[in-house]
Amino acid sequence: MINKNMKNDAPIGHLKSYKPTFSLAMKLTTILFLVSIFSTQANTYSQNTKVSCNLTNTKITDVFEKIEKETEYSFLYNHNEIDTNRLISLKANDEPLKSVLKKLFSGSDITYVIREKQIILKREGYTNEKVIEKVTNRAGITKPVQEIRVSGTITDSEGVPLPGANVLVKGTAVGVQSDFDGNYELNVPDGGNTLVFSYLGFKTMEFPINGKSVINVVLENDSSALDEVVVIGYGEVRRKDLTGSVSKVSGDELANLPAARVDQTLQGRASGVQVSQISGEPGAATTIRIRGGNSIQGNNEPLWVIDGIIVGTDYNLSNLNTNDIQSIDILKDAVAVSIYGTRGANGVILVTTKSGLGATPGEPNVSINTYTGLQSIVTQVDFLDGQEHAAYANEDAEFRGSALPFPNLDNVPNVDWVDQVTQAAPVTNVDVSVSGVSESRNTNYYISGNYFNQEGLIRSSGIKKYVFRSNMDIKLSEKFKVGFRMNISRLRQENPKFNIDALYVSTTPNRAIFDDAGNFTALDPITDGISPNYEADITLRQNHNLVTNILGNAYVEFRPWEKIVFKSTFSPEINDFKQNRFNPGALPNNLIINNGGDARVDNSLSVSYINENTVTYSTDIGEKDRLTVLAGFTLQKSEFESSISQSFGLSNDATGFNNLGFGADPTRNNVGSGYNSFQLASWLGRINYSLNDKYLFTLVGRVDGSSRFAPGNKYALFPSGAFAWKLSEEEFIKNLEVFSNLKLRASFGLSGSQAIPSYRTLALLDAANTTFNGSENPGVNLGRPENPELKWETTKQLDIGLEMGFFDNRLSIEVDYYKKETEDLLLNAQLPRQTGFVSKLQNLGKIENTGMEFLINSINVSNNNFQWSTSLSLSGNRNKVTDLGGVDFINLATPAEQGGTGARLIVGETVPVFTGVRYLGTWKSQEEIDQAGIGGSQDVGGPRFDDTNGDGQINELDFVVLGSPQPDFYYGIGNTLSYKNIDLDFFIQGTSGNEVFNSLTQTALFGRPELTKYKETVNRWTPENPTSNIPRAGTVASLSEVFSNSAMIEDGSHLRLKSLRLAYNIPVDKLGMKSLKGINLYMVGTNLFVLSDFRLKDPETSQFGKDSDNLSSGFSRGQYPSSRTISVGTKIQF
């Protein structure tokens, strides 16, 4: 049993604090649609803006000034069209602005249109010169037109003209605004080389003139505006109309960060999304938890969807080029994820790649981007050097009464093995892309090629990949649209040639690399036994993966009527995998035992396809109501086949793994193969209703049918609903004049997880030989009973969110509270012995996740020369086991040779908790030992553990809860600064309150002398140092004597400078090259430092690698080291 009340002083698994934090975004607002001059309606603000005046025979320009002073509006007009000397009389008493304007222009030929805070005037029937040559604002500034004449049209990515867009000659006060058709025309003064185009809700863009007289511009939507489009399952929605919880990460935030996988760049950038970089190996996957883990034995990774293609939770993201990504949308709450049914419980990450939208029609954009960098180890663990370790080994031998292994301490090897096998590793990336829109605007395209080569910090490891992408959309007619997305990749992954944690555990500095004859050594100098020589492994072993992946989709879209869209998509994926491994006979350990070499070849091929068919109906009901209905059917099928061939006793090293027939040991040779398949059929639907543009309703449902379950449990329904209230549209909130945005939202619903492999409901037959009539005959045994009652894991989730904007959304705050409960957990339950089986997978147990998320976006400074924005996000999650099928706790896996179980599932605690005995230091005297009365081997200077229950024995009955790998909170802090042509941004992320089970301590603090030792053991207990709490050498005969204990539990809290980027945009207009659109020089540093008290320096790395379940998280023993990377690059655009 376990003493649940005996814990460390710090509370374990308890959410300690939720502190509001800031998160990066841009100013939110945009109005894109064009309305006819004669039917334009003022916005809601103008309808509620009141004006009072009593003017007689007053110049119209003075009337304009009067209205501008009383409101936030300014007048925009062409002096050639408006008679500014006209005298009028106007009387109004607290009347709406619209009514006043109607009086003002009554009986004249002047019409107006309101765009945000501008009242644009035009003379009816007047032949417009398509340029507003003078702009009059409240300050009375007039911008004259001069010199060289340039004209053009400004539109959005859909070709809709943008009236009132600003055009400015960079470095001057000369500028104009576009007319109602998006046309502009201005005279550029001498020395003017660049035009700056800006429009509210769109990104500011610069274009070099380069002698051109016509410059047509397509402005890109500002992704941080309230009207930004958020990608959700099977559709899109404006952020201000969103009822669910969705985080968005722009591709610009991730661009040019030197990483092989996009998930490595997401760390800290979205609230409620915990990303852990568990290994520094090139191409290594991360562990991602969205609002905590929902399963115990099942998969807790989110679902990835790339350009609408569901690729699952284990897709190799190295197949993607990060610089191809336009945006990433992360679905978190029930109403957002339930559209994905059985695969949505852990959250969904939607990746959208780039298109040609935004380019000037008929003008292709060519981009060449390259960077190169150098990687180094962030921090290194401090171990004893050669002489210090030899002294430790001698003390151990002396304590045991054995011969000294190193009689002469002045002449012992001193090899820093970590330094020996690591290197300063280069990384190189080259991107080339071509994108554009046809002159007819009916076709847009994006084509790119990528070469990425990252050598590993461990020599002979690394990844090299080639990625080709082609995206295209074609509008065949007003009713038909087709398109495709295609990504082809080829990877070569060089795997480490030895077990990395063994490098830290068992290779002492006294082990020489070569013997006196110049051959690789094979024997440990302390035990005289055979042990690996890692330099030999790096030099002689071969181990690499070759992967080819093809991922694509093709769609056809049919719009028979304006309000209805039918869409059918076919998405295939092919993944061909091969791994070659060869351990030559020339390895020193093989030479000693004359074992010969061995080789293995693994092959696998997976093929899957998804067919999705949807229909969407959208209609406006009245002036302010809108209804959108989605319905669909999807079908997925996946097949996987594999084979292995392994050969031992190879007599010839020359052919390696290319001729397995040389294997001379048929008793060990191995051949195997396998096959499995899976199908999923689904029906889905969603209804969105906007009432009065204030009250938003969403209903979602999906029915999934899975071949993984038996009849009766194959189908399940996953419904959800949400409501949002735009409080900022209510008059009683508007009158406060405090909020620029205020929205309250709530959602509740179900999602699921089919967290079992194929065929687990069926009985399993194992091949087995049996003796009959004195001869051995082939046969089968029942290896696993049938299990037809297995069903889905189901997650219920409640979310309540509040969104606030202040100062025209220069400051925005978002707060979410959520509670998730997952039931019918899949657990291996113990079976009675008489069944003949140890355990059986059953639906047992429950988990609960409760947490809060805080986001704050601020634009601190924004003017023509300097911009500064800050982002800060903080998330806290309390994870708790509420039921384990009737038992109080379950023991989990134990790190190698450790006494007792170091991790358990306990009702009321997190998943998992670290358990063990308390380490009390060392025994200081024999008298102290005698008084304690603890049995077993107890020595002065040896380790002392707490006998919690007082029975005189140290065993698992003394175990207490020592810590939890789950943090109290995790955070991300970002700042982006721009001054003229210089950009600087940096990003910090970290965690607080989590513990790490450092199982290296078992060997490096307590263990035998043939194992590495921490530098701190220099201060171990000795007769000359009798107060030390570090055990003396020789007091631990076997690692099984060292129970899981509190000395192994360390604080995993840390702060990391994740990235720092400095860039300079060369003013290409001064280079005289008309074809150049931009040159960007940049320098990027990633993982520059980690602040942590953890002995192994980086608490994120994991002993067990990627942790798809939650059971092995937080264990560390010396993994592939994390890297610091500094790179420089250039991006050239034509």
- Is the CB of residue 59 less than 8 Å from the CB of residue 85? yes
Give the residue from 122, 194, 195 showing the smallest Cα distance to 165: 195
- pLDDT mean over 551-579: 96
Q: How many helices (H) and strands (E) does the chain have?
A: 13, 57
H/E stretch holding 853 reads: strand 846-862
- The helix or strand, by DSSP H or E, that contains position 960, with its residue range, turns out to be strand 960-963
Q: How far apart are CA 706 and CA 690, in angstroms?
A: 34
Which tokens go with 368? 């060449």
Taking residues 166-171, report their average pLDDT: 85
DSSP states along 925-938: -HHHHHHHT--S--
Give the angle subtended at the CA of 997 by the CAs of 993 and 999, to the nearest 5°. Answer: 160
Rounded mean pLDDT, 872-879: 95
Give the percent of the chain with pLDDT over 70.
Answer: 91
Distance of CA 897 to the CA centre of its chain: 35
Query: Is the predicted pLDDT of residue 64 greater than 70, yes or no?
Result: yes
3-state secondary structure string across 608-652: EEEEEEEEEEEEEECCCEEEEEEEEEEEEEEEEEEEEEEEEEECC
Only one residue has tokens 């020589």, namely 533
What strands, in cross-sheet order, belong to the sheet with 1049-1051? 1049-1051, 995-998, 1115-1116
CA distance 1031 to 1027: 10
Q: Which residue has the tokens 């980027």?
A: 1061
Q: 765-771, long-range: CB within 8 Å, 24+ apart, which pairs?
A: none
What's the one-letter identity of residue 571? S
Q: Give the least confident one: 91-95, 330-334, 1003-1007.
A: 91-95
DSSP 902: S
pLDDT at residue 447 tops 50: yes
| Residue that wins the pLDDT comparison between 287 and 637 | 637
Q: Residue 245: which of 256, 237, 255, 253 has the closest Cα?
A: 237
Contact (CB, 8 A) for 46 and 102: no
Q: Please report the pLDDT score of residue 95 as a whole number.
A: 84
Winning range, highest mean pLDDT, from 172-176, 703-707, 788-792: 703-707
Question: Alpha carbon of 419 to those of 286, 503, 1121: distances in Å?
Answer: 25, 11, 12
Identify whether 163 is preceded by a cis peptide bond (ω within 30 of 0): no
- 3-state SS of 373-432 is EEEEECCCCCECCHHHHHHHHHHHHHHHCCCCCCCCCCCCCCCCHHHHHECCEEEEEEEE
Contacts of residue 923, defined as CB under 8 A and 6 or more positions apart, other chains included, come to 929, 938, 939, 940, 941, 942, 944
Of 141 and 785, the structure prediction assigns the larger pLDDT to 785
pLDDT (tens digit, 9 = 90+) per residue, 380-428?
889 999 999 999 999 999 999 999 999 999 989 999 999 999 999 999 9
**According to the model, what pLDDT value does residue 38 have?**
28
Q: Which residues of 577-613 are buried (b: 16+ CB within 10 A; e: fewer)?
A: bebbbbbbbebbbbbeeebbbbbbbbbbebbbbbebe
What tokens were used for 384?
Answer: 């004893």
Across 21-30, 595-604, 617-626, 1100-1109, least confident range: 21-30
Mean pLDDT of 877-889: 90
Other C-beta atoms within 10 Å of 863: how many? Answer: 7
d(C-alpha 1064, C-alpha 1059), whole Å: 17
762: closest CA among 793, 735, 786?
786
Place of tokens 């380490």: 919
Range from 469-478, 610-619, 726-735, 831-840 carrying the lowest mean pLDDT: 831-840
Domains of the chain: 31-128 (3.55.50.30), 370-657+673-754+792-1133 (2.40.170.20)
pLDDT at 281 over 50: yes
What is the DSSP code (8-state) at residue 519?
P
- Residues 299 and 344 sit within 8 Å (Cβ to Cβ): no
Q: In a 10 Å sphere around its CB, with 0-12 CB exposed, 13-18 middle and 19+ buried, how is residue 399 labelled?
A: middle
CA distance 955 to 977: 58
Instruction: With H, G, I as helix, E, B as strand and everything else as coil, classify residue 914.
Output: strand
Residue with tokens 């093995």: 417
What would the two tokens of residue 332 be?
Answer: 């978190």
Taking phi first (over 0 means left), then psi (-120 to 50 degrees means alpha), and beta for anything else, what does residue 692 get? Answer: left
Q: What is the pLDDT of residue 24?
A: 26
Q: What pLDDT does residue 867 have?
A: 92
Q: Give yes or no for residue 79 having a pLDDT over 70.
A: no
pLDDT surpasses 70 at 116:
no
> In the numeric block, which tokens belong to residue 236?
């899109």
Check if the beta carbon of residue 792 is closer than 8 Å to that of residue 754. Answer: yes
3-state secondary structure at position 1086: strand
Query: Would you say the C-alpha torsion 419, 422, 426, 427 has a positive or negative sign?
Result: negative
Which tens digit of pLDDT belongs to each residue from 932-974? Answer: 999 888 999 999 999 999 999 998 899 999 999 999 999 999 9
CA end-to-end span of the chain: 70
CA-CA distances (angstroms) from residue 797 to 503, 748, 823, 1105?
44, 6, 12, 29
Which tokens belong to 996? 């790490």
Residues counted in the chain: 1134
Confidence of residue 667 (pLDDT cuts 50, 70, 90): confident
Per-residue confidence band for 2, with pLDDT thresholds at 50, 70 and 90 = very low
Instruction: Quickly state the pLDDT bin for 40 (edges 50, 70, 90).
Output: very low
Separation of alpha carbons 794 and 791, rounded Å:
9
Q: What is the pLDDT, as a whole number, of residue 139?
A: 33
Element (H, E) at 1133: strand 1123-1133
Beta strands 148-155 and 217-218 are parallel
Distance CA 465, CA 494 (A): 11
Structure tokens at 390: 């030899």
**755 or 619, which is more confident?**
619
Q: Tens digits of per-residue pLDDT, 824-850?
A: 988 887 778 777 787 888 888 899 999
Beta strand 739-753 with 793-806 is antiparallel
- Look at 721 and 1097; give whichever has higher pLDDT: 721
Give the count of beta carbons closer than 10 Å to the beta carbon of residue 33: 6
Q: Tokens 């004049």 — which residue?
A: 737
Helix-strand-coil split of the chain, %, nearest 5: 10, 45, 40
Average pLDDT over residues 15-41: 29
DSSP string, 1099-1131: TT--TTS--SSSTTTTEESS-SPPEEEEEEEEE
Q: How far apart are CA 720 and CA 701, in angstroms?
A: 6
pLDDT at 809: 86
Q: Are 271 and 854 in contact (CB under 8 A)?
A: yes
Q: What is the mean pLDDT of residues 658-674?
A: 88
Cβ 851 vs Cβ 874: under 8 Å:
no
DSSP code for 825: -
Torsion of CA 907, 910, 916, 920, to 10 degrees: -120
Nearest to 1094 by CA among 1124, 1057, 1056: 1056
pLDDT of residue 60: 84
pLDDT, residue 805, reads: 92
pLDDT, residue 31, reads: 26
* Inter-residue contact 691 to 744 (CB < 8 Å): no
Give pLDDT tens digits for 243-259. 999 999 999 888 888 88
- The model's pLDDT over 258-269, given as tens digits with 9 standing for 90+, comes to 888 999 889 888
836 or 1067: whose pLDDT is higher? 1067
Please give the residue that has the higher pLDDT: either 653 or 1126.
1126
**In this structure, what token pair is assigned to residue 418?**
């970590």
Which pLDDT score is estimated for 25?
28
CA 54 to chain centroid: 61
* Residue 886 confidence (pLDDT): 84
Query: Region 449-458: what's the mean pLDDT?
Result: 97
Alpha-carbon torsion, ordered 501, 504, 505, 507, to 10 deg: 120
pLDDT over 70 at 236, yes or no? yes
Can you name the residues that pair with 684 across neighbouring β-strands? 632, 702
Burial class (CB in 10 A: 0-12, 13-18, 19+), 658: exposed
Q: Over range 361-366, report the average pLDDT.
A: 91
